[in-house]
Chain A
Amino acid sequence: MRRAPASGPIVARLRWGAAPEPPSGVIMEPNVSPPAWTKDADGWTSYFRGLAVAADVPGWILFATALGFGALAQELGFTIWHTLFISGFVYALPAQVVLIDQLARGAALAAVAFVVSVTAIRLLPATVTLVPLFKDPTRPRWMAIAAVHFCAVTAWLEGLRRLPDIPVHLRMPHFLGIGFGMLLQTFFGSLVGYMLAAALPPTISAALLFMTPIYFLLSLVANARAIEDKLAVPLGFGLGPLFYLVVPGFDLLAAGLLAGTLAFFWPKVRR
């Protein structure tokens, strides 16, 4: 997988409305050749091409990990409708798992909302790096609001990877297609995982449940670029269980704050 480009320079070069040149001037690398289908393509074509992206490998990884979420929700006693509601409307697996885990353990609702919100803060910089790529003033506002709903790790990575090669006027429908396709993968993955967890032998269910932690850990490792992002992973992993024993209910927040702060300042102190 191509590495996501560093966000700083893109943002500087894609400042909305700052450049008077035609939209085509926004394409980051003038030498990239757009995919063949973009020739004479209209918005719908671009949308369906985006949907097709979700049928590629990253989409199926998402489906598989959503199986784990569905299985977990079933184990924790959630109804299928609550499970699907969370998949569609929250649509970010870490937040989904935190949400059902905290609710099932009977945490106070305010604490649940707070922790879910903290996991969502990570989506802010992600959205900020992606929005300039599909920003299109000729499209209605609801499209942009729908598009940012699809900002979760998988769709975000695919958007960063593919949108720069696509002509600007086709980017919004293309990203809506990618995002909606990924949402369908999550939705049906949760549904199938929920059904399977009740029906399958316990060994297979255990493997489904095991998908969530291993996928989260690997995607943290895969997406960490800055040194503090990398340090935060083992620190959080180590401190999390300790805090769970000491302050259950506040363990994620306490471990996240302490480990994240340590990871952030550690490289600076050592220098």
Chain B
Amino acid sequence: MSAQGQKPPGAEAGPPAALDDGFGGFLVLAVVGVLAHEPWRWLGLVIGVRIDPDGALFRWVRAVSNALVAALVARLLFFPVGVLAETSMALRLGALVLGVAAFYVGGRSLAVGVLVGCGGLLAGLFAGL
């Protein structure tokens, strides 16, 4: 079932070094993924209504978190991996702008924005851009 060994030539990154052996790999994921992530949900459950989600601290945390994800978006766009790395920067940026424009024109619909953006990228690729 594993698709390893069928990686397209564009993918330069090998299997992540930290995930070598079977059980150990899941253990690493459980620690750096789940254990790093899930407690924030538990904390949300525990403190429930006792904190002010509109307080200064949480507004700052939310802004940092938004900026972090926006930085991730920029990196996926400017320094992509795999086959996306073989597309031109101008095409990726153009498709992104198209998707964002469609999002606003289409009544702030995520579906419209995502579909038009990806459609724009496809159309550009088929047009040989």
Assess whether A54 is interfacial by the CB under 8 Å rule.
Answer: no
Q: Which residue of A lies closest to B99 (CB)?
A: A214
Residues of A within 8 Å of B110, CB to CB, are: 61, 215, 218-219, 222
Asked whether B63 lies within 8 Å of A231 as measured between CB atoms, the reply is: yes
Contact A210 to B121, CB < 8 A, known contacts A82-B29, A121-B61, A128-B47: yes
Assess whether B105 is interfacial by the CB under 8 Å rule.
Answer: no
Contact A90 to B1, CB < 8 A, known contacts A104-B16, A125-B53, A264-B63: no
Assess whether B18 is interfacial by the CB under 8 Å rule.
Answer: yes
Residues of B within 8 Å of A237, CB to CB, are: 70-71, 73-74
Distance from A65 Cβ to chain B, minimum over Cβ atoms (Å): 7
Distance from B25 Cβ to chain A, minimum over Cβ atoms (Å): 6
Stretch from A36-44, A160-168, A182-190, A252-260 forming part of the interface with B: A252-260
Residues of A within 8 Å of B51, CB to CB, are: 128
Asked whether A122 lies within 8 Å of B74 as measured between CB atoms, the reply is: no
Residues of A within 8 Å of B61, CB to CB, are: 121-122, 124-125, 260
- How many residues on B have C-beta within 8 angstroms of the other chain's C-beta atoms? 90
Asked whether A205 lies within 8 Å of B83 as measured between CB atoms, the reply is: yes
Asked whether B54 lies within 8 Å of A121 as measured between CB atoms, the reply is: no
Contact A149 to B38, CB < 8 A, known contacts A126-B44, A127-B45, A236-B69: yes
Distance from A112 Cβ to chain B, minimum over Cβ atoms (Å): 5
Asked whether B59 lies within 8 Å of A264 as measured between CB atoms, the reply is: yes
Assess whether A221 is interfacial by the CB under 8 Å rule.
Answer: yes
Residue among B44, B64, B78, B95 facing the most chain A CB atoms (10 A cut-off): B64
Assess whether B90 is interfacial by the CB under 8 Å rule.
Answer: no
Residues of A within 8 Å of B36, CB to CB, are: 112-114, 116-117, 120
A112–B99 CA distance with the chains assembled, in angstroms: 30
Asked whether B13 lies within 8 Å of A97 as measured between CB atoms, the reply is: no
Contact A72 to B82, CB < 8 A, known contacts A120-B40, A260-B68, A261-B64: yes
Residues of B within 8 Å of A208, CB to CB, are: 118
A-B contact count (CB 8 A): 363
Asked whether A124 lies within 8 Å of B10 as measured between CB atoms, the reply is: no
Asked whether A125 lies within 8 Å of B70 as measured between CB atoms, the reply is: no
B78-102 vs A, Cβ < 8 Å mask (1 yes, 0 no) = 1111111011000010011001100
Asked whether B37 lies within 8 Å of A78 as measured between CB atoms, the reply is: no
Assess whether A136 is interfacial by the CB under 8 Å rule.
Answer: no
Asked whether B49 lies within 8 Å of A103 as measured between CB atoms, the reply is: no
Contact A210 to B92, CB < 8 A, known contacts A8-B54, A98-B72, A236-B68: yes
Residues of A within 8 Å of B54, CB to CB, are: 6-8
Distance from B80 Cβ to chain A, minimum over Cβ atoms (Å): 7
User: Can you pick out 19 interface pairs between chain A and chain B where the beta carbons lie within 8 Å of each other?
Assistant: A6-B54, A75-B11, A79-B4, A79-B25, A81-B2, A101-B72, A106-B17, A113-B31, A121-B61, A121-B65, A135-B48, A198-B3, A203-B125, A207-B121, A214-B95, A214-B99, A214-B118, A237-B73, A255-B67
Please list the 5 inter-chain residue pairs (A to B) with the smallest Cβ-Cβ separation, ordered nearest first.
A127-B44, A240-B71, A256-B68, A260-B64, A236-B67
Identify 7 new A-B residue pairs, CB closer than 8 A, beyond the known A72-B81, A213-B73, A236-B69. A8-B52, A94-B72, A97-B72, A127-B41, A151-B44, A218-B100, A221-B103
